[in-house]
């Protein structure tokens, strides 16, 4: 390991130890709320590296959180408000799925009957 990498790791460990000593560093998983607050700090202009050191996570992790946050925001802006037709569309899609499944089962039974194969036994309904 190069001297520079050792120095960086030593600095990171020292910063983490100092943060842990004064109680400002929380360990464990980050909640969605805490991630949101972190990303908002990034978007307001705080340094990625400084924030990563402060929180004890990698800069790559923070960058991934930021990208996911921005993609989610874009998706929310693209979506249209729900209306009364959405329930009907969902009901009709479910019905089409049921009919399709029934048709596939009937076709299989027809093929088995034409080939003189035994039909599968039905399971008792619960």
pLDDT digit string (tens) for 19-66?
Answer: 555 444 445 688 999 999 999 999 999 999 999 999 999 999 999 999
Dihedral sign from CA coordinates of 52, 57, 62, 63: positive
Nearest 5°: the CA angle 37, 80, 92 is 125
User: What domains sit in the chain, N to C, each tagged with a CATH number?
Assistant: 3-78 (1.10.10), 84-126 (no CATH)
pLDDT score at 23: 47
* Mean pLDDT, rounded, for 109-118: 90
Give dist(CA 99, CA 126) in Å, integer.
21
**8 pLDDT higher than 90:** no
């Amino acid at each position: 390991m190069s001297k520079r990498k050792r120095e960086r790791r030593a600095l990171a460990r020292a910063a983490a130890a100092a943060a842990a000593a004064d109680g400002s560093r929380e360990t464990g998983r980050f909640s969605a709320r805490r991630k949101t607050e972190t990303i908002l700090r990034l978007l307001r202009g705080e340094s990625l590296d400084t924030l990563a050191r402060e929180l004890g996570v990698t800069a790559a992790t923070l960058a991934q959180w930021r990208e996911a946050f921005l993609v989610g925001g874009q998706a929310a802006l693209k979506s249209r408000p729900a209306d009364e037709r959405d329930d009907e569309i969902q009901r009709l899609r479910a019905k089409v799925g049921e009919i399709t499944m029934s048709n596939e089962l009937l076709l299989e039974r027809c093929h088995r009957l034409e080939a003189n194969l035994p039909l599968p036994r039905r399971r008792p309904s619960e």
